[in-house]
Amino acid sequence: MHHHNEKGERLYFFFKTTKWEGELENREPERCESIGWYDVDDSSIEILPHVRKAFDLMADGAHYCEYGFEE
């Protein structure tokens, strides 16, 4: 995802996994409050708007998108 906001532009990469071994580890605790496995369809989970957009587009088969460039 090519993302633009008032702080500038960023590139984000999202990956879907079907298999995982090991334990999750938060390696940026100063920037990230928690880490875990979540159901992306659970509406009670707070997800940043650009991340929600990426998840929705991935579910539709998209591989690239731009977000936040609308005038």
DSSP labels, the chain: -EEEETTEEEE------S---S----S-TTT-S------TT-TTS---HHHHHHHHHHHTT----EES---
Please report which confidence band the pLDDT of residue 66 belongs to, taking 50, 70 and 90 as the band edges.
Answer: confident
Please report which confidence band the pLDDT of residue 70 belongs to, taking 50, 70 and 90 as the band edges.
Answer: confident
Q: Per-residue pLDDT tens for 13-56?
A: 888 888 889 999 999 999 988 888 888 788 888 888 888 888 88
